Amino acid sequence: MPNADAALISDPARLAALYQLDLISNGPIPAFDRLTRLASQILNVPVALVTLVAGDRQYFLSQVGVGEPYASQGGTPISHSYCQHAVVSQQPLIIPDAHAHPLVYDNPALQELDAVAYAGIPLTIEDGHVLGTLCVLDHQARAWTDQEIAILADLTQFVLTEIALREELAVRQRLEAQIRKDEQFIRQVINAIPMLIYLYDLDRDELVYSSAPGGRFLGYERGIRLDEVLTQDDVNAIFAAARSLVSPVTPPDQLIDMELSATHADTRTGYVRLLMKAFVGEADSPTRQVLGVAEDVSDYRQAEQTALEFKLRAARLQMLHTFIENASHDLRTPLTIIQTNAYLLSKGAQTEDRMRQRVEKIDEQVRKISHTIEDFLALVRLDQTPALQVADVAVNALLLSTLHLLRTHFTATPRIVEQLAAALPSIRADSALLQQAFYAVLENAVHYTPLDGEIRVRTLPEPGFIVVEIEDTGQGIDAADRPLIFQPMFKGNRTRSNDAGRSGMGLAIAERIIALHSGTIEADPNVTTGTIIRMCLPL
């Protein structure tokens, strides 16, 4: 028996559209039953069906005149389906006599359902997928007239209209269920978070709503309003900032981030961080309101220095361990070269050029040792730092200062392109250490980028972070080396090379400094040409 194209019948997108309508599991549907009865009566046929063709089965969404056992089973195997051919062709299938038709002459339905004559119109939904057919069968050969086929096509449109209405209803029910679920989730979130959520009405110039997290906010046993724990000046500042959000010159998606002093229940002074965004009503409902969230960040500010110092102590121990492990290996080679050339110099009887070459080799190795010691000392100095000097730091300004320092240290560099985002907020950091990390990454890029290449320095705002990216067009990093480049003195073919007197400690130093600031640093794994080092610094 010729089979319809199995790939088209089993097309995942078509089957997804079929099952999404949830028609198969709903049982008999009166609206469809009326249409099959009407088709049977008007066309004077014993059998009328609304079929849905799945991957391995043909389902009867509605049926008139089907014999057993298929009537009770509500369908047939796909092997018994004439309709599958209409689904594949997406065209009406008209069969006057199945005995002589090349697609169905040996179909089991010819004998088991006595399906001699067949006319089926595909059920093509709006997205173009064909789900099945509205079809009629006769038990004897029949020459279908154009009028009969036109009537069947008109009835098919009624079937499609009913399907579309049910699809719209199903979509609406899913949306309503999702809205109920979202509303419940939002209520749970609001009730769970230890923050104040408030609504400020600009037209009434007052707070019209404030959540009450009670003892979870500022230590109060009762629910409080935001204006109870702030000074009047700060409350006025909030109102002024809220009004600015609906100014014609303010972008509609503007977010205000403020940090103000607040009074705790135990009378100590702390800090509250506020985020505000405006919501302007439609033309027929012009209410102007601002939604705000207030978070008690006092403990964060107090813990910030302690956490940084703890990480610093842990980093110091690791750095000292690294020094002991690697110092002998990385100093032995240049010392051996120095010793060999010094011995040869002591033998005398060498030309002046040869002696100069040996002195230059000794000088080169001394510089390598000097660079290595300087980088080790940088790690040791981190261990000796009693506390990070944390202050507000403007990242863009610090990067520009670092680039100026870089240009003074190198006689020539690749082209450096600055792509710094505007209006970045400040971060809390040790500016001297952070500049050392920036310099180490930039120096690494300069060393491995040809002079006709390019280095791009960019900053990007992300929720809760400022991202700094140093991108170069140099030789790149091997995939196998990428997880190891931040290990002290890692000897990869690129970032831990000891060429030009470099110790291979720069990225290791940068990684530790960024970690001390609760940030992250990584080499972008998706770059195929050059390298991007990405540093994420928390606000």
* Ordered per-residue pLDDT tens for the chain, 539 residues: 455 677 889 899 999 988 888 788 766 788 899 999 999 999 999 999 999 999 899 999 999 999 999 999 999 999 999 999 999 999 999 999 999 999 999 999 999 999 999 999 999 998 899 999 999 999 999 999 999 999 999 999 999 999 888 888 878 888 888 888 887 887 676 666 777 777 778 877 777 776 655 446 777 766 677 778 888 888 888 888 888 887 778 887 888 898 888 888 777 778 888 888 887 665 555 567 888 888 888 777 777 767 777 776 776 666 556 555 665 556 666 666 666 766 666 666 667 777 777 677 776 666 666 666 666 666 666 656 647 889 999 999 999 999 999 999 888 899 999 999 998 999 999 999 999 999 999 998 998 899 999 999 999 999 999 999 999 998 888 887 887 788 766 655 544 343 444 556 788 888 889 988 989 999 988 887 899 999 999 98
Phi, psi for residue 365 in degrees, rounded to 5: -70, -35
Per DSSP, what are the bridge partners of residue 52?
59, 132
Determine the Cα–Cα distance for residues 274 and 241; give it in Å rounded to an integer: 11
> Which residue type does 451 have?
L
**Which string of DSSP letters, residue by residue, matches 337-375?**
HHHHHHHHHHT----HHHHHHHHHHHHHHHHHHHHHHHH
Tokens of 280: 């302007």
Pick from 379, 365, 233: nearest CA to 312 = 379
Determine the Cα–Cα distance for residues 370 and 503; give it in Å rounded to an integer: 9
Ordered by where they begin, the domains of the chain are 6-171 (3.30.450.40), 196-296 (3.30.450.20), 303-538 (3.30.565.10)
Measured in residues, the chain has a length of 539
413 DSSP assignment: -
